[in-house]
Structure 1
Amino acid sequence: MVFLAPFIFIGIIIIFSSFFIVKQQTAAIIERFGRFESIRQSGLRFKIPLVDRIAGKLSLKIQQLDVIIETKTLDDVFVKLKVSVQYKVIKEKVYDAFYKLDYPHDQITSYVFDVVRAEVPKMKLDDVFVKKDDIAIAVKSELNDAMMTYGYDIIKTLVTDIDPDAQVKEAMNRINASEREKIAAQFEGDAQRILIVERAKAEAESKRLQGQGIADQRREIARGLEESVEVLNKVGINSQEASALIVVTQHYDTLQSIGQETNSNLILLPNSPQAGSQMLNDMVASFTASNQIGEAMKKQKPKKLDK
């Protein structure tokens, strides 16, 4: 039994080595004496010990390869593009993917370089930014035709970054800043013009309402004076006496209102008791003189016509 123990141990190891596990979304390639035998999918699998071996495993998941290419545009600007290629091994073509191509990354990179350096030199720098999707579609079309033979499916290609030369980028930023400042100045000018117009409209409306208010105020004052004179006439006071009484009353009302304002610096001159009657006499004399001048002018006009 002591001599059999090593053989039993070796037998157990060989039995356990006959089983292996393939992970999900993975394919294992089995070779027998150096020749392709089979492809094993995920799960617990069996191989003949010392005869079969696992030559390699391929992931069936979607993978991404980032390729950075430097090239020149139609307007002689050097630019770096970052192209992201998403690809996967076709499940039915694991054999081709494993045996026909040793370095898929290098192969994909070469095709990306070839397509980008053929497409970008046909475009100006601004068009490269605008038509980046067209570049990605061209890369995907070229890669699909080439890599399908090797068992690879190109899921999607994306131009994820466009980086022009530093001096060109600085110039572009200055141009954009100038354009934005120009637009901002235009908006500010329009806003200022609108503000001036609206302010003028508001001032005109304020003047109109102010004039209307003054007119209404004077109209009401005149109506009140007329009613006051009529009331005084009914009690035997003639129009001149009534006018004198009203002027004197308003004069003293004004003095009273000024006296009520403690912080007022206004002084009404003259403020003697005779001020009201003097003011009325001056007004009557002015009206009389005006009427006389008007009558004289009417009499002179016919004489000029007779001549």
Structure 2
Amino acid sequence: MTNQIVSFVIIFILIIIVFSSFVTVKQGTIAVITIFGKYRRILTPGLNFKIPLVENIYSKISIQNRSVELEFQAVTFDQANVYFKAMLLYSVLDQQEETIKNVAFKFVDERNLMQALIRTVEGSIRAFVATKRQSEVLILRRDIVEHVKDQLDVILEGWGYHLQDLQLNDITFDEVIMKSMSQVVASNNLKAAAENEGQALLITKTKAAEADGNAIKISAEAERQASQLRGQGVALFRQEVAKGMTVAAKEMESAHMDTSVILFTMWTESIKHFAENSEGNVIFLDGSADGMQRTMKEMMSLNVLSADKIQNTKK
């Protein structure tokens, strides 16, 4: 009976040893094997064999991307407090044996790794921000990220990690500074709006002045052409009157009549025209014999001048 119990125990122990010799490593994970506390080898994802009771799984390292959120404060060159909210994305550098050894043995545990990583990122950003003024920080978001990456890549590679991405999700200042920045932005917007309004008013006034100038030019040109046409019409009228008077004078001479009758008729027609078209009620005329004779002589001299002009034109 005792022998059966011993055999059963031995068989049970052998079964446990056999089953413990096989290890399953999940996808995205690397297992680190040690022998009596010393590094031995790594196990890749899948079913692996290890020496039972001798080889021990020291740790399982995830090679997948990991993220951590950061919240910290920095001070600018002009003593303004800046508050950052960031997201850090990192992963194991590669699956090479030396890299896995660094990841497994550089830090006591994951907590110490995270503490070192966070403090390194915060220190790098604080050192960069300390050289910049408050007004420059917001526009230097990309420069801050590039500066941190350049410094951390070298440090993290020594730990067996790689910085995938750093995102500065939020950058804020003290409430007083935020209000002053808002006032500056508002005043700049008002200034830009005033400048735009002034430019629009200038353009409107310029276009209106150009339109007025063009209208004046067109009106002047039209008046010039109208004056020219009126002058031509008056000249033609005078020519026709002179021709008519010449013909009438010739007919009267052939009939042996005095040509002064033509002038007297024109004089009376003029008085009739004045009476019909003037706005007044009284026409003052020199009715004396001397005045009548003087008027007749002037009209006869005008008739002679008109006849001479016509003859010169025909020649």
Q: TM-score range by the shorter chain?
A: 0.5 to 0.7
Counterpart check, 1:211 vs 2:220: yes
Length-normalised TM-score, structure 1: 0.64
Per-residue deviation at 1:173?
1.0
2:26 to 22, 30, 36: 22
SS at match of 1:122: coil
For residues 146 and 17 of structure 1, the distance between their equivalents in structure 2, rounded to whole angstroms, comes to: 38
Residue-by-residue CA offset, 1:121-159 (whole Å, 9 max, x unaligned): 332212323444444344334434443332223345454
Distance 1:277 1:118, change over 3 A: same
SS in 2 for 1:61: coil
2:208, 2:264 → 1: CA distance?
48
Partner in structure 2 of residue 179 of structure 1 = 188
Task: Say whether 1:65 aligns with 2:62.
Answer: no
Match of 1:96 among 102, 118, 122: 102
Pair member with larger Rg: 2
The answer to whether the 8 Å contact 1:67/1:112 transfers is no
2:277 is aligned with what amino acid? Answer: M
Following superposition, the deviation at residue 27 of structure 1 comes to 1.6
Q: Percent identity?
A: 23
Q: Helix, strand or coil for the counterpart of 2:85?
A: strand
Indicate if the aligned counterparts of 1:69 and 1:80 stay in contact, CA closer than 8 A: yes
3-state SS of 1:172 partner:
helix
Distance 1:134 1:219, change over 3 A: closer
Change (3 A) 1:135 1:108: same
Residues 1:166 and 1:239: Cα distance change in structure 2 (over 3 Å)? farther
Looking at structure 2, the residues matched to 180 and 151 of structure 1 have their Cα atoms a distance apart, in angstroms, of 50
Matches within 5 A, 1:102-181: 102-103=109-110, 104-181=113-190
* Residue 194 of structure 1 pairs with residue 191 of structure 2: no
The Cα of 1:62 is off from its aligned counterpart by 3.7
Q: Distance in 2 between matches of 1:54 and 1:62?
A: 22
Residues 25 and 31 in structure 2, CA contact (< 8 A), matched pair in contact too:
no
Q: C-alpha deviations, 1:217-250, integer Å up to 9, x for none?
A: 23223324544554566565789999x99x9xxx
SS of equivalent to 1:76? coil
Unaligned runs of 5+ in 2: 1-7, 249-261, 284-294, 296-315
Aligned length: 250
CA distance in 2, matches of 1:240, 1:151: 131
Decide whether the 8 Å contact of 2:17 with 2:52 is kept in 1.
no
2-side partners of 1:36 and 1:51: how far apart?
12
- Call closer, same or farther: CA 1:38–1:220 in 2, change over 3 Å: same
Tell me the distance in 1 between the aligned counterparts of 2:275 and 2:15.
145
Task: Give the TM-score normalised by the residue count of structure 2.
Answer: 0.63
Q: CA deviation at 1:203?
A: 0.7
Match of 2:277 in 1: 279
CA distance in 2, matches of 1:281, 1:230: 29
Shift of 1:82: 3.1
Output the CA distance in 1 between the equivalents of 2:61 and 2:265.
Answer: 124
User: Could you tell me which residue of structure 1 aligns to residue 44 of structure 2?
Assistant: 41
